Amino acid sequence: MKGMPMTAEEMSVPAAELTIVGHFDNRPGYVTRRVTGSPSWLLMWTQDGAGLVEQAGVSFTAGPGDLVVLGSGAAQHYRVAPGAERWCFWWAHFQPRPAWLGWLAEYARATGCHLVHGVPDPTRDQIDEAFDRASRNARWLPPAITAVRPTATHTPPAVGPAAVRPLREYAPAVAVSGPARDLVLNAVEEVILLATAAARPSGDARRAEERGDARVHRALALIAAEPGAQHSVASLARAVALSPSRFAHLFTEETGHTPMRAVRRARIQHAARLLEVTDMDVGQVAAASGFVSPFHFSRAFSHEYGMPPRDFRSRLRPNA
């Protein structure tokens, strides 16, 4: 370890039961080595620069958009990567929830060592927001129970976005209370799920793309995710970087029906779910599903299901 400066904070090994979140922006010379590993898991999300990570006999460089998740028990060694001017990253120590291990499995480089490489730009912003929220929530406490009666000389404190000041420094925060720990773990879960889902399509999606054009599958995913949006051939074509005419031809060739037929079917299926599980009236269901009017919705629904929306709901929920 000669020639590798370390602070006591960097050498420390968090206790297994602790949930900690923090943010570092380190320059060359920063290094952490844990010969016996850590009893907690460690997650590192690189925003800028690069870090060199070694664990369980593997070594790799993590750059912007890379998520590293290290399991407990294996020796750890990570530092600013050679040649990099900095390593700016969020980190968290935690104990994983069981579902996370399945999400991470396909990104394992070695036992307990995972690299989720190249998370796309739009998802990076969501992950940054999740970490920011985790840092705040680690400090969460129930509000004090004090009764303050508003008077002419007393102005209640501001609430909402205007009252929140962005943190300039993210000092490491230990989630002490049970609710704070759960809130931080919820954010960590969001980070892992977002990263693993966005970095590479799931097995089902990959198999689907192997059977057809990835741009058509992307358009279908956009429609399914938000059927009530104002989709058009032009908007879907823009989303997959094709001209409207080329997209419409390719979509019809792949699926056997036009893009707007797929949109209408997705909207009707969405409406059927709302009719089944909510008490929204037909007009509200129509609007939430992207139809311009209840009349248009009822006609399209009847064509698809062979009965009007109200009759459909009555058959599913006879006592509603």
**Domains of the chain (ranges plus CATH)?**
8-141+170-199 (2.60.120.280), 204-316 (1.10.10.60)
Determine the pLDDT at residue 163: 38
**Dihedral of CA 297/258/198/169: which sign?**
negative
Q: What is the DSSP string of the chain?
A: -TT----HHHH----TT--EEEEEEE-TT-EEEETT--SSEEEEEEEEE-EEEEETTEEEEE-TT-EEEE-SSS-EEEEEPTT-S-EEEEEEEE---HHHHHHHGGGEEETTEEEE----HHHHHHHHHHHHHHHHHTT--PPP-------TT--PPP-SGGGPPPPS----EE--SHHHHHHHHHHHHHHHHHHHHHHS--HHHHHHHHHS-HHHHHHHHHHHH-TTS---HHHHHHHTT--HHHHHHHHHHHHSS-HHHHHHHHHHHHHHHHHHH----HHHHHHHTT-S-HHHHHHHHHHHHSS-HHHHHHHH-TT-
Determine the pLDDT at residue 70: 94
Characterize the bridge pairing of strands 113-116 and 41-49. unpaired
Asked if the model's pLDDT at residue 165 lies above 50, the reply is no
Which pLDDT band, with edges at 50, 70 and 90, does 161 fall under?
A: very low
> Are 318 and 312 contacting, i.e. CB atoms less than 8 angstroms apart?
no
**Chain centroid offset of residue 126 CA:** 6
CA–CA gap between residue 282 and residue 313 (Å, rounded): 10
Asked if the model's pLDDT at residue 269 lies above 70, the reply is yes
> Are 63 and 117 contacting, i.e. CB atoms less than 8 angstroms apart?
no
Determine the pLDDT at residue 194: 95
Q: What is the pTM of this model?
A: 0.67
Q: In this predicted structure, which of 4-18, 59-73, 163-177, 242-256 has the lowest mean pLDDT? A: 4-18
Spatial CB neighbours of 43, under 8 Å, sequence gap ≥ 6: 67, 68, 69, 70, 91, 92, 94, 188, 191, 192
Structure tokens at 81: 């990567």
Q: Tell me: the pLDDT tens digits for 273-286?
A: 899 888 899 999 99
Question: For 219-236, what is the mean pLDDT?
Answer: 90
Of the candidates 37, 27, 33, the residue with the CA atom closest to the CA atom of residue 81? 27
Characterize the bridge pairing of strands 67-70 and 41-49. antiparallel
Show the CA angle centred on residue 112, arms to residues 200 and 186, nearest 5°.
65
Residue 77's DSSP bridge partners are 33, 54
Determine the pLDDT at residue 246: 94
Question: For 85-113, what is the mean pLDDT?
Answer: 92
- Percent pLDDT > 70 in the chain is 82
Rounded to 10°, the helix 309-316/259-277 angle is 50
Determine the pLDDT at residue 186: 96
Asked if the model's pLDDT at residue 1 lies above 50, the reply is no
Question: For 32-56, what is the mean pLDDT?
Answer: 92
Q: In this predicted structure, which of 60-64, 100-104, 142-146 has the lowest mean pLDDT? A: 142-146
